[in-house]
Amino acid sequence: MHRIHILQVLTVEICRLSYTQNSYVLANTLPAELIVEIFMYLFDSGDYKSLVASTHICVRWRAVALEAPKLWTTFPATILSETEECLRRSGSLLLSLSYKVPHEGPDQILKLIAAQTHRLRSLKLIIGPHYRFRRLVKHFRAAVPNLEELSIMQEPIAPRSRMLLSSTDPVPILTPFGGSELRSLRTLILVDVPIPIRPSSSNLLHLTITCRATQFSGQDILGLLDISPLLKTFTFTSLVLSPIIPPDTVRLSTQVISLPRLQLYKFECTSSGSATVLRHLSIPNSARLLIHSHHVMDLPDGNVYGMLPENVASDRLKCFKGIKRIELLLGDSAGLATCTIRAYHDPEAFLDPAVELVALLIRGLPAPFMGHWPFDTSQVEVFVVAGKPGRTHFAYDAWAEALRRLPELRCLRVVAIRDDCLVALASVLEGRGGDPLVEEAMSHLKVVLPDICPMLTTLEVVNISPRIGVAPLNVEIWAALWDAIAPRLESGALKEMELFNVCGCRKGDLGTTRLQELVGKRLILKVDEID
């Protein structure tokens, strides 16, 4: 016993000496307030595990951390004892919690969280695929006056299981939190939650809905938007293959919802669903509108503009006005043609378009596609067309239809189109069809062909490929390009022309040499300067 006592005394003395030694370490000379601020970097980064580990470095660090309640207000509720300890350490401060709700059985952690509803500032719940939502409603009956962010995500449900659930567990209207109006709620995120949460809050700023299995009606979505006049961002994503939004009802037909503060509207759904919702919205010019249709059978006729309502040119959709730059990008995805249209209010911009349309196409683009722009193009200064090397082709009438609607065009950039497509474009810029039959077919346009794009100052031609299995039209290309730029050189309009990788031709080739000789000092000509 005497030896045990001696060992205990020595252990205490060693700890005291160790503490004294640690007190001279530079880091421990800092005041407690500064140490807490350093710990806050871990807190702000969401690195809860590192924060806990820092409390085991030394006695002082642990004491400082445990006496700072704000360090323990954000944590994942995974283990009951840890959750209880964090709730105690956080004192009476507001909480930001995340928790994965178990499928069945008693849930002590959920009860702990439900008992702290008055302290909740942010709550993120991950629900198992077979979770009965009635259980969740029963737990959260008290009001949440301070809740600013609510996220509920259900894990994917197998199709067969989903059918069983739908037949045995009718979906209730979710009215948790004691029917609270949720006036503090700023962010609402629902992932595959088959329940139309309808907070009566007028202060919602960010709304995100993702549907991997559930279906929302147009009225459900418009109902959420209608009670959110302060909304800044709205994102709706549906992976359901069938159209999830039916055609308008009588009630929907006259409904108009104004979102004057909207900054981002992102809608990934069927084209009909997108058009149905957008038809009833009024959004400002500053809003970004992103509409994506990734459903294979959605646009069999290539009508990308089917994603838009017929009133797209109205004053309610102001982001479609004042367009200065258009990009048409064609590609492939899973063997299907993809089409991306981007429109910008700034002619020099290449990020954050005002309007973006993305679609999968079964049969490619219809012939008159480019000329049927869904927005006002009278102010467009930059037009970019990027296709698929050796495959993308627009005929003469398609180019003429498109360019005649761009009277203020100053820069035209074409990338990765076929050689015959470039020849057709050059013929349009020249102001003639070359074929009397073509010109007769174009007579309905009622346009003076030489006046197409009279303001054009820059022409960029990049990565032009011959048609597969066909010899390149080098001689025809250079002849067509010269005929196209000659009158514009005479008028002094065209100032710069760039040719890069045009059917493999480089500086010194017959065509490029002729262009350089004829251009002289009247045009900046760049030809394959990058090796």
Per-residue confidence of the chain (531 residues) as pLDDT tens digits?
Answer: 567 766 666 676 666 656 555 655 556 667 777 777 777 877 776 677 777 887 777 777 788 888 888 888 888 888 888 889 889 989 999 999 999 887 666 688 888 888 898 899 999 988 877 776 767 777 777 778 899 999 988 887 665 444 444 433 444 444 556 555 677 889 989 888 765 556 655 788 999 988 876 666 777 788 888 888 999 999 998 866 444 455 444 345 567 899 999 999 999 887 677 888 888 899 999 999 999 876 655 555 556 777 788 767 677 888 888 999 999 988 877 677 788 899 999 999 888 999 998 887 766 665 556 667 888 889 999 999 998 876 777 888 888 888 988 999 999 999 998 888 888 899 898 875 444 444 555 455 444 345 789 899 999 988 888 776 676 677 788 888 888 887 887 777 888 888 888 876 666 665 666 666 656 555 666 766 444
pLDDT for residue 447: 41
Provide CB contacts within 8 A for 95, sequence distance 6+.
Answer: 73, 74, 87, 116, 119, 120, 121, 122
Instruction: Give the separation between CA 435 and CA 440, rounded to whole angstroms.
Output: 9
* Pairing relationship of beta strands 187-191 and 264-268 according to DSSP bridges: unpaired
Instruction: Give the separation between CA 461 and CA 422, rounded to whole angstroms.
Output: 9
Q: Does the predicted TM-score (pTM) go above 0.85?
A: no
C-alpha Rg value of the chain to the nearest Å: 32
Report the phi/psi class of residue 182: left, alpha or beta, with left for phi > 0 and alpha for psi in -120 to 50.
left
Residue ranges of E strands in 257-308: 257-258, 264-268, 281-282, 288-293
- Residue 168 CA: distances (Å) to CA of 101, 162, 164: 21, 10, 6
pLDDT for residue 494: 85
Q: What are phi and psi of 464, to 5 degrees?
A: -95, 125
Report the phi/psi class of residue 185: left, alpha or beta, with left for phi > 0 and alpha for psi in -120 to 50.
beta
Amino acid occupying residue 238:
S
**What does the buried/exposed string (b/e) look like for 37-76 if buried means 16 or more CB atoms within 10 Å of the residue's CB?**
eebeebbeeeebeebbebbeebebbeebbeebeebbbbbb
Name the residue among 402, 411, 288, 291 with its Cα closest to residue 348.
411
pLDDT for residue 283: 92
User: For residues 57, 62, 68 and 71, what is the CA-based torsion angle, rounded to 10 degrees?
Assistant: 40
Kind and range of the H or E run holding 61 = helix 59-66
pLDDT for residue 68: 85
